[in-house]
């Protein structure tokens, strides 16, 4: 059953869809978090430069450069799936080592 609220927007069974949207967003966030964990587990669970292993600060780095360009081509989820299918092209760095590497390689 579809009705209209006072603003003329459609509602279903008295719900405005916010609850459903919130649940969907939560599921997507869980999926992305689990996907990121799978990627880190596949490549390495620690920084390849210093050995830091707190997943909250680990980042995927493209081994052959061009990572920024590549990331712009894909959505967040699609990028993680791409990494899963091409793990040999990536390495894991902690946020500090990745920042240092970018400065050393003039990737700014």
What's the gap between Cα 101 and its chain centre?
21
Terminal-residue alpha carbon distance, the chain: 54
Q: Tell me how far apart the alpha carbons of residues 2 and 22 are, in angstroms, rounded to a whole number.
A: 20
| Residue ranges, the chain, pLDDT below 50 | 1-3, 13
Tell me: the pLDDT tens digits for 53-75? 999 999 989 888 777 787 788 87
Percent of all residues in the chain with a pLDDT value above 70, rounded to a whole number: 77
Number of domains in the chain: 1
Query: Which residue matches tokens 């689990």?
Result: 34
Q: Which domain holds residue 49?
A: 16-104
Backbone angles phi, psi at 11, to 5 degrees: -135, 150
Instruction: Look at residue 23 and tell me if it is in a domain.
Output: yes
Q: Is the full-model pTM beyond 0.75?
A: no
Is 59 part of any domain? yes
SS3 letters for 28-92? HHHHHHHHHHHHHHHHCCCCCCCCCCCHHHEEEEECCCCHHHHHHHCCHHHHHHHHHHCHHHEEE
């Amino acid at each position: 059953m579809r009705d209209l609220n006072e603003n003329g927007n459609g509602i279903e069974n008295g719900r405005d869809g916010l609850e459903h949207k919130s649940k969907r967003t939560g599921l997507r966030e869980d999926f992305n978090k689990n996907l990121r964990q799978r990627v880190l587990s596949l490549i390495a669970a620690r920084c390849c430069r210093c050995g830091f292993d707190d997943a909250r600060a680990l980042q995927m780095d493209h081994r052959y450069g061009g990572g920024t360009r590549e990331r712009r081509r894909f959505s967040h989820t699609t990028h993680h799936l791409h990494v899963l299918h091409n793990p040999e092209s990536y390495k894991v760095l902690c946020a500090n080592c990745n920042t240092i590497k970018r400065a050393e390689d003039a990737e700014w």
